[in-house]
Structure 1
């Protein structure tokens, strides 16, 4: 049963990735982040309410709540905001492959801060994930260089040169957003685990984290125009693709937690990493997102999934 739930979670995450891409363009004001977090809050809250009424309420502790608040900042706000932005600029398949940096960062955190040991399979997994990311970035540099040849010299001079151009190029393709998202999720999962030790209710923890994400975005909207416009767009116009992405993301999280409650973290993580394959299939065969999926992208996606599986299975 746990394996089926994990596979459904991977499928949901794959659907969400593709729907975000279908519902946005690189210059879109709203990429669905706020709507997604809002839906997560209501879905997780509904399950937590039902679970509390039927099975009894979890004992609230100040330490547990603070862990969930910190997890919300890291995952619901930083992680999801940058993930959706990465998909918006990079495409669902490439962003999904970069997302596989999550277990890599988790392992590095364990090694440097928790003094966990390395082994051969973890090292191979790290090489696979890092190598896949390098392949994707290299491909983007090649594409950008080809496009640059078609730009007049006068416009190239205005754009600047050197290292700044390279950083700007990476940011334009969404890799910076993807890496930040993966790092935030990796730390957030560790923090959430600490919260679950204090308050063993993943749905309540998810609801608290989503509420924090909502509040942070609302506060930032008072000072930053882009957040304000995104939130206003959420309520002023119905965007079916982004609504679907919000539902799929929320269901993916709920199914993932349900799988964890029945099986170990490693087995669930390995199966859930197949969201790369689902994203690849849905993007090219079902939703037709026209992301220019090349052999390099397919190779990098599969390699990243294998690397995540090796790390998680240890």
Structure 2
């Protein structure tokens, strides 16, 4: 399941690049959040361990607030930045920048959860950063440099997802139901997107902006992102966090394979990519077991 999750995320990245040429609105960001909302709702109704009544208690309200903030960070800031970064620098480089999520999670976990990293965790973070920097440096073999705004957006996306993970973890301390937490976060994002877009563009134009991008590539992206989240959730029930995290690094390889065999939408340096990915996998392993 962890391998299938990595493949789903890799497919989503390539689909984002493919769909940007036909995008008329948000390139399917809102669609992906709606699919996440539906999928997490089905997961909670079928396998959830906590009822909605629990959220009415004082502790439940605090957990709801954490889940809502996590949804704001991941589904609004994180996902939009991920889409725009992938459009600008490609699926492989954007996927590699996502390997920095556990690194950004270290200061967030310290501030929100009072978790102090040990030397293995710090070393793992340094190795992940080294691998990302090694590949992301402008290369003489590429015809043009990476757009700096794309790299910045990729970093912001990783930081937003890291913050979301820590906020969700804080909520799970009192309401231990990940599906319910994801459902709350996705609901907040859907409401925010609808209101913000319609205030900015007007009701009619705003609705068109949110719903105009519905090509097969947009549906592939939305379904792949949701499938990746659900598969990771189930994988954690059957295997260790370390295994899931390390196999998650293979997302970059799946993206690279799709780029080379199918889309050919970006230039790649395979030898550098494999070495950078090895660094990322090793660093991620140290981060998890630390």
| Among candidates 281, 288, 309, match of residue 263 of structure 2 | 288
User: In 1, are the aligned partners of 2:102 and 2:284 still within 8 Å (CA)?
Assistant: yes
After TM superposition, give the deviation of residue 112 of structure 1 in Å: 6.5
Q: Which runs of 5+ in 1 are unaligned?
A: 149-167
User: In 1, are the aligned partners of 2:25 and 2:212 still within 8 Å (CA)?
Assistant: no
After TM superposition, give the deviation of residue 169 of structure 1 in Å: 4.5
Looking at structure 1, the residues matched to 35 and 25 of structure 2 have their Cα atoms a distance apart, in angstroms, of 19
Closer, same or farther: CA 282–306 of 1 in aligned 2, 3 Å: farther
After TM superposition, give the deviation of residue 278 of structure 1 in Å: 1.8
After TM superposition, give the deviation of residue 237 of structure 1 in Å: 4.8
Looking at structure 1, the residues matched to 22 and 127 of structure 2 have their Cα atoms a distance apart, in angstroms, of 29
TM-score of the two chains, using structure 1 as the length reference: 0.79
Which residue of structure 1 lines up, in the alignment, with residue 148 of structure 2? Answer: 170
Closer, same or farther: CA 313–211 of 1 in aligned 2, 3 Å: same
Residues 218-253 of structure 1 deviation map (CA, whole Å, 9 limit, x = unaligned)? 222134459x97862452352111111100100111
Which residue of structure 1 lines up, in the alignment, with residue 243 of structure 2? Answer: 267
User: In 2, are the aligned partners of 1:41 and 1:211 still within 8 Å (CA)?
Assistant: yes
Which residue of structure 2 lines up, in the alignment, with residue 158 of structure 1? Answer: none
User: In 1, are the aligned partners of 2:7 and 2:254 still within 8 Å (CA)?
Assistant: yes
After TM superposition, give the deviation of residue 195 of structure 1 in Å: 1.4
User: In 1, are the aligned partners of 2:28 and 2:213 still within 8 Å (CA)?
Assistant: no
| Among candidates 145, 169, 179, match of residue 203 of structure 1 | 179
Which residue of structure 2 lines up, in the alignment, with residue 57 of structure 1? Answer: 51
Which of the pair has more CA radius of gyration?
A: 1
After TM superposition, give the deviation of residue 201 of structure 1 in Å: 1.7
Residues 152-180 of structure 1 deviation map (CA, whole Å, 9 limit, x = unaligned)? xxxxxxxxxxxxxxxx9511xx1111111
SS of the aligned residue for 2:137 comes to: helix
Closer, same or farther: CA 138–224 of 1 in aligned 2, 3 Å: farther
Closer, same or farther: CA 128–239 of 1 in aligned 2, 3 Å: same
User: In 2, are the aligned partners of 1:7 and 1:271 still within 8 Å (CA)?
Assistant: yes
Closer, same or farther: CA 208–117 of 1 in aligned 2, 3 Å: closer
Which residue of structure 1 lines up, in the alignment, with residue 67 of structure 2? Answer: 68
After TM superposition, give the deviation of residue 276 of structure 1 in Å: 1.8
User: In 1, are the aligned partners of 2:16 and 2:86 still within 8 Å (CA)?
Assistant: yes
Closer, same or farther: CA 147–10 of 1 in aligned 2, 3 Å: closer
Alignment partner of 1:215 is 2:191: yes
User: In 2, are the aligned partners of 1:21 and 1:289 still within 8 Å (CA)?
Assistant: no
Task: Give the RMSD, CA atoms, in angstroms.
Answer: 3.0
Which residue of structure 2 lines up, in the alignment, with residue 118 of structure 1? Answer: 118
Looking at structure 2, the residues matched to 306 and 225 of structure 1 have their Cα atoms a distance apart, in angstroms, of 46
User: In 1, are the aligned partners of 2:8 and 2:224 still within 8 Å (CA)?
Assistant: yes
Alignment partner of 1:300 is 2:279: no
Closer, same or farther: CA 137–6 of 1 in aligned 2, 3 Å: closer
Looking at structure 1, the residues matched to 100 and 34 of structure 2 have their Cα atoms a distance apart, in angstroms, of 26
User: In 2, are the aligned partners of 1:44 and 1:203 still within 8 Å (CA)?
Assistant: yes
